């Protein structure tokens, strides 16, 4: 890893010359590799050892070693579900707003999930991530069509007129 350490020294010198400073204590490293797990690599920056981590948060997205984006999708779906449950409190299964008004509220929750879609688009090919997206959309689909929780996600999406999120991500949002 001498090459990496030399590169880090060059970067640190360049930053010092341009009156910039690296916060070494906040510095994280991640090795992006789907094939192999490398646990014995360490980086040296300003005589401080930096061990690679399994995931980093960058611009609000959780990136893991294999670039599966599973944690990011999970977090955004949980955020959407919290919003959906808050809206569910004002949307009873029987009576209440018309399906059109319910659909507008569902789109608000859907947009929470779709905000980061360009980043995790490829991750929807993974079955677990597709299931998480369905779970994130299920609560609002049930509320839009005033269905009970035993209704399948497929039926709820068809009746409510919502498009499954993994299809929306394939067509670009």
Q: State pLDDT tens for residues 89-109.
A: 777 767 778 888 888 888 888
With bands split at pLDDT 50, 70 and 90, how would you rate the model's confidence at 150? very high
Q: Which two tokens stand for residue 17?
A: 């010359």
The CA-atom distances, in angstroms, between 153 and each of 131, 135, 160 are 10, 8, 10
Beta strands in 22-148 (DSSP E): 43-45, 48-50, 55-58, 61-64
**Mean pLDDT in residue range 7-14:** 88
- On whether the CB atoms of residues 76 and 137 are closer than 8 A, the answer is no
pLDDT at 11 (0 to 100): 87
Look at residue 18 and tell me whether its pLDDT is greater than 90. yes
pLDDT at 171 (0 to 100): 67
Q: What residues does each domain of the chain span?
A: 2-53, 62-170
């Amino acid at each position: 890893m001498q090459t990496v350490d030399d590169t880090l020294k060059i970067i640190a010198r360049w930053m010092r010359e341009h009156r910039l400073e690296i916060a070494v204590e906040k510095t994280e490293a991640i090795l992006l590799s789907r094939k192999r797990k490398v646990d014995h690599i360490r980086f040296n920056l300003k005589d401080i050892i930096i061990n690679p981590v399994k995931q980093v948060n960058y611009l609000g997205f959780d990136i893991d070693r294999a670039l599966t984006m599973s944690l990011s999708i999970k977090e955004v779906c949980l955020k959407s579900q919290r919003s959906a449950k808050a809206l569910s409190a004002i949307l009873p299964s029987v009576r209440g707003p018309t399906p059109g008004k319910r659909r507008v509220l569902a789109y608000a929750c859907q947009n929470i999930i779709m905000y980061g879609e360009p980043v995790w688009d490829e991750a929807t090919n993974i079955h677990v991530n597709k299931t998480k997206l369905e779970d994130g959309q299920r609560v609002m689909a049930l509320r839009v069509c005033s269905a009970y929780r035993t209704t399948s996600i497929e039926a709820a999406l068809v009746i409510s007129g919502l498009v499954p999120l993994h299809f929306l991500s394939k067509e670009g949002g």
